[in-house]
Chain A
């Protein structure tokens, strides 16, 4: 049996983080969620102090990423994750307010797996997150490559 997927949530807005978490839980997903409110802390966690990223070699990860972070652009994190041998297979879900076509295209080019624009309408937002939760419950995530 493979290990349960850990959800890394990189979201600077704590309100958003809370709403996302709640709605994921409502969809019945009980996986561990590790929240980060800035890019530096998230990178430290993902890549470790030496920046190699083999800390999580035996754990399947799923990254929930906001693009507008206070200390860096989410795109930088996306690039580093997809360039890293240990992490590049982990699915990255970009969940952000940016709906600029350029940004969306760029994210997919860099290897993002899903790009979702946060709807302001709460019904849609909650719906989207719940469906994302359902998606998480069925998605197969490989273990990070050793």
Chain B
């Protein structure tokens, strides 16, 4: 599984869990509300039933009070009757209110209501008769039994109503139970769903955590590997470098040996030339007129004919070229050997006040500077830890160059500046000399290469040497210059060079 897909799956799962949770909450709320409503309806049904019973009871109470009065003529029964009669109608009205939703019950109630009213009217007539002492008439009324029918009808109706209510009660109880069990089911299943989603999420999280740990371990491995590779490469490089050093040393040495011969036998040839031309002179002279003159002045130049003179000159010229070339080759080999020796010298890092060091160099070139009509300004420079001899060679080469390649007729102005930045000291040697063509900026750092008019002595070694030293000291150098307007050499050196850092610079 790609990490991206895993992340998306996790997000999707969490969102799903959230949605499920919300849905379950809403469903629960809904079903609980439903259950509460159903329960309320159940209670309502019970109340209606109760009220029906109460209403019946009151009618009966009124009836028995009426009879009691007729029998005893006691006023407590009258009071009793009034109390009962006054509650009947309100009771029925309450019932009417409560069963508003049920047309059947309403119809029954309306009938009960009229019946109850007529019954109450009958009661009152009987009671009036009783009050006026027309007991017979009252008894007659009772005997007519009209009230009994009304009463039976009321009872029937009430019974019917209660039956309806009981049926409703049963229905509503079932509904309430169903709502409750549904609510419970929804909540439980929701809880399970949430648990399952959480488990999956945790599993996914653990898997991604594991993947991350593995990746971390791999990264660590790779880092270690990289380090060992770097160490290995550094060792290889150092070895290669040492091999090149040895190679340069051996080659230059072995080149020197034949050179000694070439030079030696060329000189021997020169000697021979002298002898040969003397013999030519002797032979070409008339032997009769010249009796052995060579014994008289063997060291003087032989007297030669024009042709022989020409030969002698050609001979000398050829030998001259050979000798000058050998001299040049010897100087180059000597330079390579000197560079090689420098390259193999062990550096010793010490704390150096570079300003003091450079002022020392400046004082040794004061005479040259005065001759060249140049001034050298040394500005405050940072202290660094480096190899003293190497620094001396670097700066004296650069200052020498600045003095050497000034513009004719312009007073020289050489400035040496320095600053520190991020653990490196940056030095600038600026002059107002003849400058260097940008196309030569790389070339001047190469061994035996020079740029510009070749009117000054030199072999093209200085800057190559300086750059090699700067590199060995763990630094870099560059030049900024345009032809005719001076040059600035910039050297960046670590402020704290340690002998071990040579490994990386090598």
User: A-side interface residues toward B, CB under 8 Å?
Assistant: 13, 15-16, 19, 22, 68, 97-100, 118, 120-123, 125-126
Contact indicator A97/B263 (Cβ below 8 Å): no
Point out the residues of chain A lying under 8 angstroms from B337, CB to CB: 99
Tier of interface size on chain B: 20 to 34
Question: Does B266 belong to the interface (CB within 8 Å)?
Answer: yes
8 of the cross-chain contacts (CB-CB < 8 Å) are A13-B258, A13-B260, A16-B264, A19-B261, A19-B265, A120-B256, A120-B263, A122-B263
Query: Besides the contacts A97-B257, A99-B337, A122-B263, what 6 more A-B pairs have beta carbons closer than 8 Å?
Result: A15-B260, A15-B261, A16-B264, A120-B256, A121-B327, A122-B267
Q: Report the Cα distance A118→B267, complex, angstroms.
A: 15
* Nearest-neighbor residue (CB-CB) of A23 within chain B: B264
Indicate whether B330 reaches chain A with its CB closer than 8 angstroms: yes
| Option from A22, A97, A98, A123 in Cβ contact (under 8 Å) with B260 | A97
Give chain A nearest CB distance to B181 CB in angstroms.
103
Residue of A nearest to B270 (CB): A122
B326 at interface by CB-CB < 8 Å: yes
State the CA gap A97–B337 with chains docked (Å): 12
A118 to B261, CA, bound (A): 11
A68 near B257: Cβ-Cβ < 8 Å? yes
Known: A120-B259, A121-B330. A15 touches B264 (CB 8 A): yes
Question: B496 near A: Cβ within 8 Å?
Answer: no
Q: Which residues of B contact A100 (CB under 8 A)?
A: 341
A120 and B253 contacting across the interface, CB-CB below 8 Å: no
Chain B residues in 8 Å Cβ range of A68: 253-254, 257
Give chain B interface residues in 356-376, CB to chain A under 8 Å.
Answer: none
Q: How far is the CB of B339 from chain A (nearest CB, A)?
A: 14
A79 to chain B, nearest CB (A): 21
Nearest Cβ in chain B — how far from A99, in angstroms?
8
- Take A97-B260, A125-B260 as given contacts and tell me if A120 and B267 are in contact as well, using a CB distance cutoff of 8 Å: no
Q: How far is the CA of A58 from the CA of B267 in the complex (A)?
A: 39
| Chain A residue with the shortest CB-CB distance to B261 | A15
| Chain A residues within 8 Å of B330, by CB | 120-121
Q: Say yes or no: A16-B257 contact (C-beta < 8 A), given A121-B330, A122-B264.
A: yes
For residue A115, give the distance in angstroms from its CB to the closest CB of chain B.
16
Which residues of chain B are within 8 angstroms of A19 by Cβ–Cβ distance? Answer: 260-261, 264-265, 268
- Give Cα distance in the complex from A50 to B256, angstroms: 37
Given contacts A97-B256, A98-B253, contact A120 B261 (CB under 8 A): no
Complex interface: chain B residues within 8 A of A16 (CB): 257, 260-261, 264
Residues of A near B341 (CB, < 8 A) are 100
Query: By the criterion CB–CB under 8 Å, are B253 and A118 in contact?
Result: no
A13 contacts B253, CB within 8 Å? Answer: no
Q: Is the CB of B267 within 8 A of A126?
A: yes
Q: Which residues of B contact A98 (CB under 8 A)?
A: 253
Contact present for B261 and A125 (CB under 8 Å): no
Question: Known contacts A120-B326, A120-B330; is A125 also within 8 Å of B257 by CB?
Answer: no
For the complex formed, measure the closest distance between the CB of B85 and the CB atoms of chain A, giving whole angstroms. 144
| Separation of A26 and B263 alpha carbons in the complex (Å) | 18
Chain A contacts for B266, CB-based, 8 A:
122
Chain B, 217-251, contact with A by CB distance < 8 Å: what is the 0/1 string? Answer: 00000000000000000000000000000000000
**What residues of B have a CB within 8 angstroms of the CB of A123 in the complex?**
267
